[in-house]
A and B are shown apart, each in its own frame.
Chain A
Amino acid sequence: MFEYAQRIIKRQFVLAFRSPTEFATPIAFFILVLALFPLGFGPVVKSSGAIWIVALLASLLSSDRIFRQDYDDGSLDQLLIAPQPLFGSSLAYIFAHWSQTGLPLALISPLIALMFDLPASAILALVISLLVGTVVLSLIGAIGAALTVGLRKGGALISLIILPLYVPVLIFGKASVDAGIQGSLLSPSLALLSALACGAIALAPIAVGAALRISMEI
């Protein structure tokens, strides 16, 4: 099972590196939308929440693509009839998606934090909360992607069904950055966010597998 999952991850990475524009789009989106916030709210945006909201949107934007291409070329069917459990393979898909969207966002976030004048104590909190939080975002996004993969017009629908589910992540992510601004790195909110991530890792792949089976039955 682990070897199978490794192969899926490797395949997803090869696919991503062959079309680097897709790889770079969420990051460009992230920075571009963040640049819009000072234009809309005036030059002094103090809120760390802006960074979190844009991370949410960037993850949402890319989540529709998790299964789309494989659905179109039929390799998703192969995944479903393979003897390996669907839990592992959907987790592999989600991990590949996270390391292509969530991980780069978390890694460039210190730069953004400097541009938004966050105190140094908050930067580490921002990076850690983004690292943990985007895992949950990718997991939830995969559920939405699996539910809508069989539909032609999945794009607008996926945002409607995923965004409400993103809310707890936003609340706890923002709260842990705020705790970081006040100087405490290991806050209860960060603990809750990590708990959310653990729960989502355990449960979301089950939902993704079931949703894939349902939408492929058409």
Chain B
Amino acid sequence: MWTFFHKLGSPPWFYSIAGRILQWLLPLTLLLLATGCIWGLLFTAPDFRQGNSYRIMYVHVPAAVVALAGYYVMAIAGAICLIWKMKMAEIAMRATAPVGAFLTLTALVTGAIWGKPTWGTWWVWDARTTSMLILFFLYIGVIALYEAYEDKSIASRAAGILGLVGTVNIPIIYKSVDWWYSLHQPASITFTGGSAIESSMLYPLLLMITAFYSLFASCVLCNMRVSLIKREWRASWVRALVKED
């Protein structure tokens, strides 16, 4: 058990194991995405009120869910690098931030496109949309603080503190739909209360959420491999790797 943790701190070991995981994870992600898209876009009935426009839900909802969860992944990685000063956690934190920011942006843009036919406007200053915009800036703040420091181990610990402080905002964002909702509907899927979505529409949605989680994981792993190479380009294992190819 403990050897596993020690190995986790070794860049060459992590680099190769991440490569092996990606070999399986990337095809799996593509398969899940393709199945979910085709199922959601072609084989579900159009909505009673929204017609076909509701289908953007299959991108919008998974992106928003994973963007929120990704913030926690980033904050936990930040906490690990504050407590144990693990190099891998530093790299994981920096690798998560842009992926999360991009997913937040995706959720905002698809939300705007969905909003035009259903709400009649591209953007409302609703609690949910505004707080997702704030989430985007939380991600950007972490990236900006990290990039401002020259020394990357100081940078990761500073950004880790910021990430942890920012977690206070996430429950507020998550709950904002239930507390003050105006145009954005409250959460349709809950763990305890069942789902307000018809099951034939729900299953492709759940599949797409799984697909986005695995997309998130593969993007983070790819990012981590790249930044490992960037940080350790002087090390002998990177040279050996370059010679192999």
A, B from the same assembly: yes
Question: Could you list which residues of chain A lie within 8 angstroms of chain B, going by C-beta atoms?
Answer: 140, 143, 147-148, 150-151, 153, 157, 160-161, 163-165, 167-168, 171, 204, 207, 210-211, 214-215, 217-218
Contact yes or no, B154 A214, CB < 8 A: yes
**At the interface, yes or no: B200 with Cβ under 8 Å from chain A?**
no
* A-facing residues in B23-48 (Cβ within 8 Å): none
Asked, given contacts A143-B161, A160-B137, A210-B161, whether A165 binds B148 with beta carbons under 8 Å apart, the answer is: no
Closest Cβ–Cβ distance, residue B228 to chain A (whole Å): 23
**Complex contact A157–B169 (CB within 8 A):** no
Complex CA–CA separation, A167 to B140 (angstroms) = 16
Instruction: Kindly state whether residue B241 has any CB partner on chain A within 8 Å.
Output: no
Question: In the docked arrangement, what's the CA distance between A210 and B85, Å?
Answer: 14
> Beta-carbon contacts of B123-164 to A below 8 Å, as 1s and 0s?
000000001001101101110110011010010011001101
**Which residues from 43 to 84 on chain B have a C-beta closer than 8 Å to any C-beta of chain A?**
82
- Report chain A residues within 8 Å CB of B149: 150-151
Chain B: interface residue total (CB-CB under 8 A): 25
In the complex, B242 has a CB within 8 A of chain A? no
Residues of B in contact with A (beta carbons under 8 Å apart): 82, 131, 134-135, 137-138, 140-142, 144-145, 148-149, 151, 154, 157-158, 161-162, 164-166, 168-169, 172
Q: In the complex, which of the residues A151, A163, A165, A167 contacts B165, with contact meaning CB atoms closer than 8 Å?
A: A165
Which of chain B's residues have a CB closer than 8 A to the CB of A210?
82, 161
Contacts A151-B148, A167-B131, A207-B161: A161 and B141 contacting too (C-beta < 8 A)? yes
**Cross-chain contact A147 with B169 (CB below 8 angstroms):** no
> Do the beta carbons of A214 and B145 come within 8 Å of each other?
no
Closest to A159 in B: B141
Query: Is there contact, CB below 8 Å, between A157 and B161?
Result: no
Q: Is the CB of A147 within 8 A of B145?
A: yes
Return chain B residues, CB-CB under 8 Å to A153: 148
CA distance A217 to B85 in the complex (A): 14
B12 to chain A, nearest CB (A): 28
Contacts of A160 in B (CB 8 A): 137, 140-141, 144
- Asked whether B168 lies within 8 Å of A168 as measured between CB atoms, the reply is yes
Residues of chain A within 8 A (CB-CB) of B151 are 218
If A148-B148, A151-B148 touch, whether A164 touches B168 (CB-CB below 8 Å) is no
Question: Are A217 and B154 in contact, CB atoms less than 8 angstroms apart?
Answer: yes
Contact A157 B144 (CB under 8 A): yes
A210 to B140, CA, bound (A): 22
Shortest Cβ distance from residue B205 to the other chain A in the assembled complex, whole angstroms:
29
B148: chain A residues at CB < 8 Å are 148, 151, 153, 157
B145 in contact with A157 (CB, 8 Å): yes
CB–CB A165/B161 < 8 A: no
Enumerate chain A residues within 8 angstroms of B157, measured Cβ to Cβ.
214
Chain B residues closer than 8 Å to A163, beta-carbon distance: 137
Q: Is the CB of A218 within 8 A of B154?
A: yes
B169 partner residues in chain A, CB cutoff 8 A: 164-165, 167-168
Residues of B within 8 A of A204 (CB): 165
Instruction: Decide: B138 and A164 in contact? CB cutoff 8 A.
Output: yes
A150: B residues at CB distance < 8 A: 149, 154
